[in-house]
Structure 1
Amino acid sequence: MTRPAQSSTSIEPKLAGHSGHLARLAAFRAEALLREHLPPERSMRDVAVLCVLEGGRLSQAELGTLLSINRTVMTSVIDALEADGLVQRQRDPADRRCYALAVRAAGRSELATLHRAVADVEAALLAGLDPRGRRRLVELLRQVQPTPVSDLPAELADRACFLLDPAAQCLRARSVQMLQEHGLTPRCVRLLLALEAGQPCPQEQLARSLALAAPSIVGDLDEMHTHGLILRERNPADRRAYVLRLSPSGQRYLADAVAVEHAAQRALEHALGRAEVQELNHLLTDLACAPTGNR
């Protein structure tokens, strides 16, 4: 039985031309499809690890670098795969103090099944693109990876459903760095964008618009209120409750943040070429806006 894919997140109008925002939304859709098609205990990260190890033994550090997975997360992934009997840690003959990772026979067998599931995900994800669009999307996504894809197996390097998440993270990291250099907090920017689109709104409504639990944003809202970025006002429909809206300072803060996001997008256009970025955005928009439903 497959799990239902979740609906796509709507495109934020002020970031509609921003590759990082569009890649993030497309990656959300890819993740929903992966959840639908892969076994509940497996992720694309597991597939990538098994796929790379099928080509030969690597240390955990080498594997993490190749797949842009940090040490803590990689340890968790390998522990789970080892517990399931899919990979094993072996002493590295070149350095007995270290371990190399190898895929077991059970891992190779499961990988064959996972490859078929990933192929189904890829077909569903790219169903709205013609063959040329599919090729171009993969080519362009390869250019915005955190690490070169030349050393990756074709089963990963040719899959948009694998390339989307690291591309989104890479693009977002550039924007985050520029925001922080200007003293802006990325999480606050996300909240302020959502609040601007829905104001005045209760905290619960704001959280739902971001697909978050209401308690998870309380600390951020308190901080923004303390710094004068948002206003809390009595809800005319329920005097016991409050609604939120941007303050004048919050509006200026958000305007500054959007200007920085524009600058990050111009930097990407300078690096890749304006025509290439426009083509990438068009393809990502098609993916992000495609309907997602139950099979």
Structure 2
Amino acid sequence: MTSEDMTPPGSDRGLLGYTGHLMKRAFLHVHAHGADAMPIGRHPREIGVLLLLIHAGPLSQARVGALLDISRTDMVKVVDGLETPGYVVRERDPADRRRYALRATEAGERACEELRAAADEAERAAFACLSADERARLVPILLDLIPDLRDALPAELLARTGFLIARCHHRLRRRGEQRLASRGLRPRHFGLLTALASAEPCSQQRLAGLMGVSGPAIIQSIDELERAGVIRRDRNPDDRREHLLLITPDGRRRHREARDDMDDFQRELVIEIGAERIAELNRLLLALIPSEAPTPQRRTP
């Protein structure tokens, strides 16, 4: 496979040099396959929770959320969804009788077998575009980005490439948010501005295509940036029913500053795991995105 010579159709080349953006695109691809493969009423997160409890439980709900990078609000929903059919139970934590711990039941272990099969099917479909050798090279690089989890999670979870991509995506997104916090922007705002800068004036639908997402997925970011005076909407002179998006002068300044921050973040990743491994990671992530055009421009640290 010559995925390094491929660019997702319609994608903005300015974003494809950022590992965080590629990881997000790969995550969306993998998550879509996972959601499609799950039995009706089940969620991909549930297999992670069950596997963790089966291999390392009982564990407190807070500990499970921390290890799997699931927010407190989402953990409540996940646990409720597993507790109702009797897949997990809450028991007194033997290490601290004032607290409760979660334990997978026998019914939960049986349900996990069904979820395992669904997850295996999802991974086969999601990673069909990678050879066995490419997938074998991808896993250790992903683990390099989350080294603290090597000894904290069961081997069965760490062997699931889709799970690793999800964990890396959430980790990189948080780090990107920390970089941009002082600018009043988030990584999704930066991605939108970078794509828009290469194509303005353009419609919301075209902008979403450049970012590799659906039109409704960027409505919130557009509204936030418009309220902040970073972008504006103008009527399309050729079609008054349509609005075109443009970056304001202040938006250009803030985008330049954010780009400097994200370039620094990309250089930081290179320092952490090496230029060759980042280049290989970007190539493999790019291969997961449907592609049919020539090589993206890569950012040189």
Query: What TM-score comes out, normalization by structure 1 length?
Result: 0.85
- Judge conservation of contact 1:24–1:168 (CA < 8 Å) in 2: yes
Question: Whole-Å Cα distance in 2 between the matches of residues 266 and 173 of structure 1?
Answer: 16
Is the aligned partner of 1:49 residue 2:49? yes
- The answer for the alignment partner of 1:20 in structure 2 is 20
CA spacing shift, 1:141–1:122, aligned 2, 3 Å: same
CA spacing shift, 1:36–1:242, aligned 2, 3 Å: closer
- The answer for the alignment partner of 1:77 in structure 2 is 78
2:224 to 201, 220, 223: 220
- Judge conservation of contact 1:27–1:165 (CA < 8 Å) in 2: yes
| CA deviation string 1:135-154 (max 9, x = no partner) | 11111111212841323222
| CA deviation string 1:48-79 (max 9, x = no partner) | 01011112311112212221222222122111
**Aligned residue runs from structure 1 range 94-243, under 5 A:** 94-145=95-146, 147-203=148-204, 206=207, 210-213=213-216, 216-217=220-221, 219-224=223-228, 227=229, 229-239=230-240, 242-243=243-244
3-state SS of paired residue (1:166): helix
CA spacing shift, 1:79–1:24, aligned 2, 3 Å: same
* Deviation of 1:218 (Å): 5.9
- Judge conservation of contact 2:10–2:209 (CA < 8 Å) in 1: no
Question: Whole-Å Cα distance in 1 between the matches of residues 177 and 36 of structure 2?
Answer: 30
Letter in 2 for 1:223: R
3-state SS of paired residue (1:233): strand
Q: State which drifts further: 185-194 or 165-174.
A: 185-194
CA spacing shift, 1:145–1:51, aligned 2, 3 Å: same
Is the aligned partner of 1:86 residue 2:87? yes
Question: Whole-Å Cα distance in 2 between the matches of residues 85 and 159 of structure 1?
Answer: 25
Question: Whole-Å Cα distance in 2 between the matches of residues 125 and 184 of structure 1?
Answer: 31
CA spacing shift, 1:50–1:290, aligned 2, 3 Å: farther
CA spacing shift, 1:274–1:95, aligned 2, 3 Å: same
* Deviation of 1:43 (Å): 2.1
- Judge conservation of contact 1:146–1:166 (CA < 8 Å) in 2: no
* Deviation of 1:207 (Å): 6.0
How many residues get paired?
281
CA spacing shift, 1:54–1:264, aligned 2, 3 Å: same
Question: Whole-Å Cα distance in 1 between the matches of residues 135 and 151 of structure 2?
Answer: 19
CA RMSD of aligned residues (A): 2.6
**Aligned residue runs from structure 1 range 264-275, under 5 A:** 264-275=265-276
3-state SS of paired residue (1:288): coil
| CA deviation string 1:93-146 (max 9, x = no partner) | 343321111111111111111111111222222222222211111111112128
| CA deviation string 1:185-237 (max 9, x = no partner) | 4443233234334422345665676424376456314314xx3x334433212
CA spacing shift, 1:98–1:13, aligned 2, 3 Å: same
CA spacing shift, 1:37–1:9, aligned 2, 3 Å: farther
Question: Whole-Å Cα distance in 1 between the matches of residues 284 and 47 of structure 2?
Answer: 25
Higher RCO, 1 vs 2 (CA within 8 Å, ≥6 residues apart)? 2
Question: Whole-Å Cα distance in 2 between the matches of residues 195 and 220 of structure 1?
Answer: 15
CA spacing shift, 1:105–1:22, aligned 2, 3 Å: same
3-state SS of paired residue (1:102): strand
Query: What TM-score comes out, normalization by structure 2 length?
Result: 0.83
- Judge conservation of contact 2:34–2:122 (CA < 8 Å) in 1: yes
- Judge conservation of contact 1:68–1:146 (CA < 8 Å) in 2: no
Is the aligned partner of 1:34 residue 2:34? yes
